[in-house]
Amino acid sequence: MNPLKEPQRGMTVIVKTIAKFVVPPIILFGIYIVLHGHLTPGGGFAGGVIVGSAFILLTLAFGKEVAFQKLKRSTASVLESVGALIFLSLALLGIAAGGWFFLNFLPKGHPLRILSAGFIPLANIGIGIKVGAGIFAVFLTLIVFRVSAKK
């Protein structure tokens, strides 16, 4: 069923139409901020929150059923843990490579290229997944709690 044709869920048709056009660029911008974290201002935290806020916009505009179809709350919780484990395992891989905790064991590359700075882009990706999924999961938890508290 088309969520645009369902006036009783979510907000008005104006908000839904604008949200439909705006959500993909927001997610793309968040991914850009995460991937270019070692080159331009921003990084994993800011980019992750931007991606999470795109899903929150989806939830507010279309109601939580549509957002649950895109990303379930359990999936968000799992993604948060996966992001944290990526960051922690990168730190532990420094020991495995024969160095110390948080050793930047990958080659540095040329500055200002996207494949540079060793493991910093990977750590940014891990933090971005963790923060975005965590923010969305806690938002969904609060929404569900409020809806079930009203009943």
Partner 1 sequence: MWQVYALAILMIVGSLVAVHTRYLLSAVISLAVVGLALCVAFLYLQAPDCAITQIVVEVLALIILIRATGVERDMSEIKNRKEIFAYEAIGIFIIAFAFFAFRALSYLPEFGHPVMKVSQEYIRKGLEQTGAANLVTSVLLDFRAYDTLGEATVLFTAILGAIVVLREVGRKKK
Question: x-or-dash pattern for partner 1, window 95-114, by CB under 8 A?
Answer: ------xx-x---xxxxx--
Pick one of 38, 58, 63, 79: the residue that binds partner 1 (CB under 8 A): 38
Give the single-character DSSP code of 90: H
Pick one of 27, 35, 127, 129: the residue that binds partner 1 (CB under 8 A): 127
- Report how far residue 53's alpha carbon sits from residue 3's, in angstroms, rounded to the nearest whole number: 20
Amino acid in the structure at residue 38: H
Part of the chain binding partner 1 (CB under 8 A), chosen from 6-14, 17-25, 136-144: 136-144
Least Cα distance to 93 among 80, 79, 106, 109 occurs for 106
Amino acid in the structure at residue 107: P
Q: Could you give the count of Cα atoms lying within 13 Å of 73 in the half-sphere of its Cβ?
A: 12
Pick one of 53, 55, 61, 62: the residue that binds partner 1 (CB under 8 A): 53
**For partner 1, how many residues bind (rule: CB under 8 A)?**
52
143 lines the binding site for partner 1 (CB under 8 A): yes
User: In whole angstroms, how far apart are CA 141 and each of 7, 66, 125, 149?
Assistant: 24, 16, 24, 12
Q: Point out which residues bind partner 1 (CB under 8 A).
A: 33, 37-43, 45-46, 49-50, 52-53, 56, 60, 77, 80, 84, 87-88, 91, 101-102, 104, 108-112, 116-118, 120, 123-124, 127, 130-131, 134-135, 137-139, 141-146, 148, 150
